[in-house]
Each structure stands twice: as C-alpha cells, then as structure tokens.
Amino acid sequence: MIDVVLGIETSCDETSAAVLIRDAQRIELASLVILSQDIHAVFGGVVPELASRAHVRTIGPVVRQALDIAGVSLGAIDAIAVTAGPGLVGSLLVGVCFAKALAATTNRALIGVHHLEGHVFAPTLQYPDCAPPFVALVVSGGHTLLLDVPDWGRYRVLGETRDDAAGEAFDKVAGLLGLGYPGGPAIESVAHRGTDRFDLPRPMRGDGFDFSFSGLKTAVLHAVRRSPDVARDQADLAASFQSAVFDVLTDKVDRAVERTGYATVVLGGGVACSRTLAKVMAGHLAGRVRVVVAEPRLNADNAAMIARAGWFHLERGERSDAYLDADPRLPWPGLERGPVLTHIGGPS
Amino acid sequence: MSLYLALDTATDLGSVAVGSPEGVLAELTFSDRRHAAALMPAIDEAMRLAGADWNAVSGIVVADGPGSFTGLRIGVATVKGILAVRDGLELRSVPSLLGLAWAIARVVPGPVAALYDALRGDVFAAVYDTDGTTVRECQAPTLLPAAELARRIPCRPVVAAGDGAVAHSAAVRSWTGRDPVGPPAGAPRASALVELLAVEGVTKRIDDIDAFEPTYGRRAAAQDRWEAKHGRPLPDPDGD
C-alpha cells in the first residue's frame, strides 16, 4: 500500500521536491518546493552546465524543506518518484542519483517518471475529479504535444510541433522584443497593454493537428525590422504574437475535441501558466467542454506532478531497479503513434 | 572496525571500495560510462562483498575532482542522497588526481603525474611523490594545455598516468621519457582513497554537506564567454 510518496524533479532549471500523502481515498499535496535558477535569465536561456552545478548545491535543502513542510521524515516515505527524462542530462542525473541513493539507503521503492506524463497528471492534484477520457495539450519550452488520453497510462499523439516548441517561440520572440527570459510571462505582462494589430500568420491553422511556430517567429522578426519605433510597438507586437500562438493552440484543441468527442480538455506545461491562454481556451470552448488548468506552480516544472504520475505507476506494481539511469530522450511509456481515429458516437 | 565507503567517479572508469586504512574489504570498478546507472548497485555490491551494512560504516570518502563534470556530479549527488538518510556519517574528500597517483605509486616508486583529460587540448594535472605513508605534493592540481606540461610543471615525474596522459601520449613521452600508463593499470582505484585516510593532512573533512560540490577545476564555458563579453563577473550563479 502506497500512502506517502516523495517526488523529485531536476529535468531543467528548477530543483523541486514534493510530498503526496493519501488522505482517505484522496491523494493530497502535502508540500511542494520549487527553487528556480534565476541565473539563466542573463543568458536568455538555460545554460546546462550552470543548471547542473546549481542542482548539486540545492537538491539536499530542497528535499529536506519539502519533508519538513509536509511534516514527515524520510522513514515515513513509502516510495520515491523521480524524473528520469526527458530533459537536460546533466540536470536529470543529479535528481536521479540523489533519489536512487535515498531509495537504496532507506530500502524504499523507486520509480522513474517521464516528465511529460507528469504534466498530464498535474491538474488532478488540484481537481481530483479530473479523469480520462480527455484531450491534453502539453505546452512548454521543450514540447508542444496534443494528446488523446482515453485512459490513464494511454496517450495517443494527435499532433506535435514540427519545429519550435510554443514556449521556445515565446522565448525567442521575447528576445526580439527586448523583453526578459523566460519569454512567456514577459510577453504576457506587456501584451495586455497592446492590441492585436499586426496581422501575424496563424501557421497550420485549419490543417491537421501538428503545430509550427518557426514561421511565426520569423514574421515577428520582419515586423520588428519594419517598425520605425520598436519600443512604441512592443506591446502591440507582443499582443499580436501571443494572440497568434493562442489562436493556433485553441484551434487545434477545438479540432481534437471534435474528433474525439471528449467533454474535457486538460492544459499542462509551462506555457499553461498563462492566465490569458486559460481564458482564451475556456472562452472558445465554453458550453461544449470543461477546460481544466491547474494553478501555475503545478504547470511549471514541479515535483508534485512527478510524484503523482509515479504514484499511478507504483499502484500498478511497477518499480524501477537500482540501475535506473537518466535518459534525455526517454521514451514515454504508453505513448502511441499512428493514424488519428474518429471516435464514433462520442467518447470511447 | 570502523569502515569507510570510498567512491571515485571522476573518469570513465568508476571505482567503489569499502574498508579502513587497516585493510580494504571490497573494491569494484565499472567502465561502461553509465556511472549513474552503475554507481548505486556497485555500492550495494561492495557493501555486500565486505559483509558490511550501513551501521558498520562510519564515513564516506569521495574523490571530489577535478575530472569529468558529469562523473563528479554523479558521485556527489549520490553521496548527498546517502547522507540525507545517514546523517551521522563523516564525509571526507580527496583530490581525484591524488587518488590516482597513490594507486600508481603502489607499483612505481618516484613522483607520479596524474593527468585527466580536460578536453579542448587541456589536462587536469598534478604530481605527487608518495612512499605508502606520506604524500609530497610536487604540483597541486592545475589546468593547463597538455603541450605545456614539460614547460610549466617544475618537477619531472617518472611516469604519467590517467586518461589525460593517454589522450596526449606524445606530450607525455617527451616530458617523462616513458609511455603513459592508461586504464586499466593507470586507472583510479577507490581503495587508494581508503588508504589515504591514514595519511595526515591529505583528506579534507566536509562539514557543510549542502554546500559541498565537486572541485570541477574549470568554470562553465558559458560563464567565461559571458564575462569576456560583458567585462564583469557573472551575477551570483545561485541567484535564488
């Protein structure tokens, strides 16, 4: 019986630990600590070696703080769930090695978790009634993935990006506009002062389920070059770019809902921290489906979602052995690729 | 008997040992470059071979660098995970190049150069003269182009060992007059770290486990580039 799970996540530039505790039949979030490495802002992107070095310094205190807040000792933990991939290998290794040593020294169960599966599970920590079948959109700095989730543990790819991830496009465009890093929050914070007047393209809108953001980024670059006063146009360019991205995301999700017939849409990943995206998506799909978006700390890279996804696998009797390794290109267990099927007569 | 767990993951050849300065009970090496996968099972196996459980262990001694950044982090992150549970254990560190030199000096008398490949034509280098009970540091761990070994290191070793010696064999031959000693003979051995516990002043006690990190021997390249471009130091890398 699993009652207490410690989660550890170090796949990129956040060192995170969380404790989940079973309370009656519910899984409660007892603590979540996320330590972000601000240093990467001066580089305009994550520097892998600096991220790895920082994780070594912070992993111990972060895990200890998560245990302290939850009021549990290491001895009370039943299992340890850790992100095994995908991500930056040097960063992943710190969490994996720390978790393996904890598990071996305490003789507790260990489960390696796929980072993106964590993002799909994240909303259930806030909305325990959220359950498949649903359409999931996972959007972050490294991934843009549209999924048909007929059941926990089964994920059918409907569409994915053919070039830049959505979050990556935000980072690059924020750079073009002289805004900070990470780009998503930087663009959102000025976009609300601007208007969508630049008529930017909506790449691949109305065309299948895949995404492409590279051309949109180039369109912003041209608009910046044409602008006689970028400082003056900054808010309007930000608003125009953000609208273009969110229009495409909304359009694809809408098509996925139509194709699957599902009544629920789940948004996850760092880009889903955007209040604007949640509002646009909910407004567009209002009256047709329920749009579930967790609070930002559960959409950012965090250990709570890793513990929750790990809990699912642990309850199925799965365990990682002492040879668990970090894998920057870890295949997602349960991920299916193939032709997109039409669900006749509603949810399957 | 008070046992120590010793580990060295500074290079492609990882090594784990359990023992005390009076005698090493078990030693394992692994070489598949998957230290993250192999290290914890190797520790478990070394403990099993030594007939020891954690209650018999009083400390950990780790080769803290320089060497492979990734390899060093695997060792230190693992140590921190163990100490998060076994917080009564003493932690001591040894320069990784000293561990290698000590292992080589068991069979080759005279000053030994330990060289680890630092990529980009550079080596992490140190020279130690040891006699099985004492250590004389002829050259403290340093980073330099392999081509400048002979010119910049004041003492001449009788032999040079390590993956850096093998990667730059021509420079090593012209410096020492001998072929380099590479793995497996010229490989780090965790048993050397255990033996070094008995040598006065060469291991360092680590009291602040959280702040402990590898002695990388080189800054991140991105940091050097940033500082060269901006003409000022990078803001506090912890920035948290």
Looking at the complex, report in whole angstroms how far the Cα of residue B227 sits from the nearest Cα belonging to chain A.
11
Residue A263 has pLDDT above 90, yes or no: yes
Q: Are the C-beta atoms of A172 and A178 separated by less than 8 Å?
A: no
What pLDDT does B72 receive?
Answer: 98
Ramachandran category for residue A261: left, alpha or beta (phi over 0 → left; psi -120 to 50 → alpha): left
**Residue A278 has what DSSP assignment?**
H
Residue A343 has pLDDT above 60, yes or no: no
Do the chains contact at A58 and B78, CB–CB below 8 Å?
no
Cα–Cα distance, A247 to A258 (Å, whole number): 16
Residues of A within an 8 Å Cβ radius of B: 35-39, 41-43, 47, 49-50, 52-61, 63-64, 74, 89-90, 93-102, 104-106, 322-326
When pLDDT is cut at 50, 70 and 90, the band that residue A91 belongs to is very high
Write phi, then psi, for B196 (nearest 5 degrees).
Answer: -70, -15
Residue A60 has pLDDT above 60, yes or no: yes
What pLDDT does A345 receive?
Answer: 46
What strands lie across the sheet with B135-145, from one edge to the other? B135-145, B122-130, B112-117, B159-161
CA proximity to A133, closest of A11, A290, A28, A21: A290
Q: Are the C-beta atoms of B120 and B90 separated by less than 8 Å?
A: no
Residue B185 has pLDDT above 90, yes or no: no
Residue A188 has pLDDT above 70, yes or no: yes
Nearest Cα residue in chain A from B224: A50
pLDDT digits (tens, 9 = 90+) for B127-172: 999 988 999 999 999 999 999 999 999 899 999 999 999 999 999 9
| Tokens 């492609």, located at residue | B12
What pLDDT does A346 receive?
Answer: 43
Residue B51, amino acid = G
Cα–Cα distance, A213 to A273 (Å, whole number): 19
Cα–Cα distance, A90 to A186 (Å, whole number): 27
Task: Annotate B115-158 with DSSP letters as a single string.
Answer: EEE-STTEEEEEEEEE-SS-EEEEEEEEEEEGGGHHHH-SS--S
Average the pLDDT over B221-231 and give the result.
94
When pLDDT is cut at 50, 70 and 90, the band that residue B240 belongs to is very low
Determine what percent of chain A is predicted with pLDDT higher than 90: 92
Q: Which of A13, A63, A88, A105 to mutate to test the interface with B (most CBs of B within 10 A)?
A: A105
Cα–Cα distance, A233 to B142 (Å, whole number): 52
Residue B228, amino acid = A
Q: Which of A23-27, B202-206, B229-233 has the lowest mean pLDDT?
A: A23-27
Nearest Cα residue in chain B from A49: B220
Average the pLDDT over B110-118 and give the result.
97
Write the residue in B40, B213, B236 that is nearest to A56 by C-beta. B213
pLDDT digits (tens, 9 = 90+) for A120-176: 999 999 999 999 999 999 999 889 999 999 999 999 999 999 999 999 999 999 999
Average the pLDDT over A60-78 and give the result.
98
Ordered alpha helix ranges (H), A286-321: 296-299, 303-315
Do the chains contact at B222 and A42, CB–CB below 8 Å?
no
When pLDDT is cut at 50, 70 and 90, the band that residue A90 belongs to is very high
Residue A244 has pLDDT above 80, yes or no: yes
CA distances in angstroms from B172 to B100, B145, B148, B178, B182, listed in the order given: 16, 12, 10, 7, 12
Which two tokens mark B52? 């020891």
Domains observed in chain B: 3-96+188-230 (3.30.420.40), 102-176 (3.30.420.200)
Q: How does the average pLDDT of chain B come out, rounded?
A: 95
Residues of B in contact with A87 (CB under 8 A): none
CA proximity to A53, closest of B204, B87, B239: B239
What pLDDT does A191 receive?
Answer: 97
Ramachandran category for residue A150: left, alpha or beta (phi over 0 → left; psi -120 to 50 → alpha): alpha
Write phi, then psi, for B96 (nearest 5 degrees).
Answer: -60, -35
CB atoms within 10 A of CB A282: 17
Domains observed in chain A: 4-122+298-336 (3.30.420.40), 132-293 (3.30.420.40)
Apex A46 CA angle, A224 and A68, nearest 5: 130
| Tokens 């360092």, located at residue | B204
Which two tokens mark B37? 């996968």
What pLDDT does A169 receive?
Answer: 95
CA proximity to B218, closest of A53, A319, A166: A53
Q: Which of B39, B79, B80 to mutate to test the interface with A (most CBs of A within 10 A)?
A: B80
Average the pLDDT over A201-222 and give the result.
94
What pLDDT does A339 receive?
Answer: 66
Write the residue in A55, A57, A74 that is nearest to B84 by C-beta. A74
Residue A348 has pLDDT above 60, yes or no: no
Task: State the pairing for strand pair B14-20/B23-30.
Answer: antiparallel
pLDDT digits (tens, 9 = 90+) for B19-44: 999 999 999 999 877 899 999 999 99
